[in-house]
A = this chain, B = another copy of it.
């Protein structure tokens, strides 16, 4: 009896490598042995949507936007390629855009009607549905990192104003003098807007080159986790204390591993009223739409019908992406998979 059993055992053990080889070949029909190296991953970034004109964009300016947005994408892509988390990737990408004067977030934030800079940001983890956000902060260099600290190191989701800065100090998040956010270009935009406000509406020309310069990033990492992050300086000449959609989970930012990660840019009030980012996730979950169908239904359908302008970038759990907008342009780009080649676009394809 004992010998017979041993015989079976030896025969069985001999089969194991064959079985493993069969499983690997079946599981990885593309040829690669390592399942992990094949895991899909990618990042999509936006630098704001608005009434951009091809004619008023100089080649130098376009190159500057391309370079900075591409840098953000490459940094995020490297984190993902190295096995890092989607949260790390979107935070790193958004920080780069916050530190650039080109975008309406962080350093390049626009001015409120009172001539100040008020910053909003939010981040969401698609695995846990945890989220963090800050609004109306005036001294935080990188609001997206404060939003992440709110998510990971507090019981809260949203902190506003001075209270958010008290928390920033406690977390050793760098604060700067509000003068840090002064840029001549944004200041001049405020003066032009104030001049327009003085004229009767019939005489005033519409805001030229009006931009919703909010920045944002969405990513899928090799572990299959989605994340979204958004940061903004609000709207030029906005009312003191006005908060748009960027720090509102569901409106300006949403991520859920079961569906997608979304970051928005646009006329925030409309994005709040339609819960734009959550709605895209809901259409996938409840209607079985693809990411592209859901994103188009909300941006080109509902948002446009209600009179709102702007766009979103999104990525789903299979690394499909969508970047619809209903303005004349949106700074956007992406890198999908191990190839670090960045695609950058401003106008419609």
Contact = CB atoms under 8 A, between A and B. Distances in A.
A150 B199 CA distance: 24
B159 A241 contact: yes
A41 B72 CA distance: 53
A274 interface: yes
Interface stretch (A21-29, A44-52, A163-171, A174-182): A163-171
Nearest to A245: B157
A8 interface: no
Contact of A163 (B157, B158, B242, B278): B242
Interface of A: 124, 129-131, 135-136, 154-164, 166-167, 238-244, 248-251, 254, 268-269, 272-275, 278-279, 282-283, 286-287, 306
Contact of A159 (B239, B272, B275): B239
A136 B161 contact: yes
Q: Which of A131, A154, A160 has the most CB of B within 10 A?
A: A160
A168 B176 CA distance: 30
Contacts of A306: 129
Contact of A248 (B164, B248, B279): B248
Q: Which of A157, A167, A241, A275 has the most CB of B within 10 A?
A: A241
A136 to B, nearest CB: 5
Query: Chain A interface secondary structure, helix, strand, loop or mixed?
Result: mixed
A242 B132 CA distance: 11
B167 A239 contact: yes
A274 B240 contact: no
7 contacts: A154-B239, A155-B269, A158-B244, A159-B241, A248-B249, A250-B275, A278-B282
Contact of A160 (B156, B243, B268): B243
A154 to B, nearest CB: 7
Contacts of A244: 158
A278 B275 CA distance: 7
Nearest to A131: B273
A346 to B, nearest CB: 27
Nearest to A243: B158
Contacts of A282: 278-279, 282, 286
Nearest to A130: B273
A247 B19 CA distance: 56
Given A131-B272, A273-B129, A156 B279 contact: no
Given A273-B129, A279-B282, A163 B249 contact: no
B250 A272 contact: yes
Nearest to A286: B286
A242 B286 contact: no
A346 B288 CA distance: 39
Contacts of A162: 161, 240-241
Contacts of A129: 273-274, 306
B250 A157 contact: no
Given A250-B250, A251-B250, A286-B287, A241 B164 contact: yes
A204 to B, nearest CB: 15
A169 to B, nearest CB: 12
B273 A241 contact: no
A162 B130 CA distance: 29
B159 A242 contact: yes
